């Protein structure tokens, strides 16, 4: 009887020891792997560099040369190139003038008196691409000129350089003015006094 109990105990111990081995786990667990098609996203297109400025602290008078074929302005101080910037000149039907001009007026917070939007009596925009004196203004509404920060007038008929959108670098987009990236418009404004020469070439 004792021998039988000893045999049973030994067999049980062996079974338990076997169950504790990794090859024979007491509780079998299984990890389900769900396989899905892998989507490979293309790398984000890098944003183009809109301008370069190396003119801080450089001596000499400022001048600006604008090449409409490239939609770029080249910046000079004392005759030395100190930077460049993309611009957006007048689109089809609103060509920017060419020739040699000089900055006649500078206003930090300028609004257009010709292009802008129409708002109703509640201030809601009813026409986001309006022309003053042409677009209909509802009763109680008004025309609001488009913002043209860092305005630098170069003609007597409303053309100047100012901060504005460059939606497609290298392509015209304005109503005739020379738009500049905001930071570069501010930089030129700070460095170009009234009288600064601006040359625009085709």
List of the chain residues with pLDDT < 70: 1-46
The pLDDT tens digits of the residues spanning 82-130 come to 999 999 999 999 999 999 999 999 999 999 999 999 999 999 999 999 9
pLDDT computed for residue 47 by the predictor:
75
User: How many other C-beta atoms can be found within 10 angstroms of the C-beta atom of residue 68?
Assistant: 18
- Structural domain spans, the chain: 88-193
pLDDT computed for residue 48 by the predictor:
86
Tokens for 39?
Answer: 């989507």
**Known active-site residue 175:** no
| Parallel/antiparallel/unpaired status of strands 72-77 and 80-86 | antiparallel
Tokens for 73?
Answer: 């302005």
**Known active-site residue 162:** yes
Fold of 88-193: L,D-transpeptidase catalytic domain-like (2.40.440)
CA atoms within 13 A on the CB side of 47: 5
What number of H helices and E strands is found in the chain? 2, 11
Phi, psi of 99 (to 5 degrees): 130, -170
pLDDT computed for residue 8 by the predictor:
45
Tokens for 110?
Answer: 């300028």
pLDDT computed for residue 45 by the predictor:
53
Catalytic residue among 19, 102, 162, 175: 162
Q: What Rg do the C-alpha atoms of the chain give, in angstroms?
A: 36
Catalytic residue among 19, 102, 175, 177: 177
């Amino acid at each position: 009887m004792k021998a039988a109990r000893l045999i049973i105990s030994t067999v049980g111990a062996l079974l338990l020891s076997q169950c504790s081995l990794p090859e024979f786990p007491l509780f079998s667990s299984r990890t389900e792997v769900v396989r899905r098609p892998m989507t490979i996203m293309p790398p984000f297109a890098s944003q183009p560099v809109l301008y370069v400025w190396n003119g801080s602290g450089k001596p000499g008078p400022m001048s600006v040369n604008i090449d409409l074929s490239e939609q770029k302005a080249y910046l000079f101080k004392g005759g030395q190139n100190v930077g460049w910037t993309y611009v957006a000149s007048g689109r089809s039907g609103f060509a920017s003038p060419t020739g040699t001009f000089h900055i006649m007026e500078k206003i930090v917070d300028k609004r257009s008196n010709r292009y802008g939007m129409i708002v109703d009596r509640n201030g809601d925009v009813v026409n986001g691409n309006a022309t003053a004196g042409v677009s209909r203004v509802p009763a109680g509404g008004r025309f609001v000129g488009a913002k043209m920060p860092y305005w630098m007038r170069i003609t007597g008929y409303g053309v100047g350089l100012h901060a504005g959108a460059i939606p497609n670098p290298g392509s015209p987009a304005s109503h005739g003015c020379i738009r500049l990236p905001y930071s570069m418009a501010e930089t030129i404004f700070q460095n170009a006094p009234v009288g600064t020469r601006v040359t625009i070439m085709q």
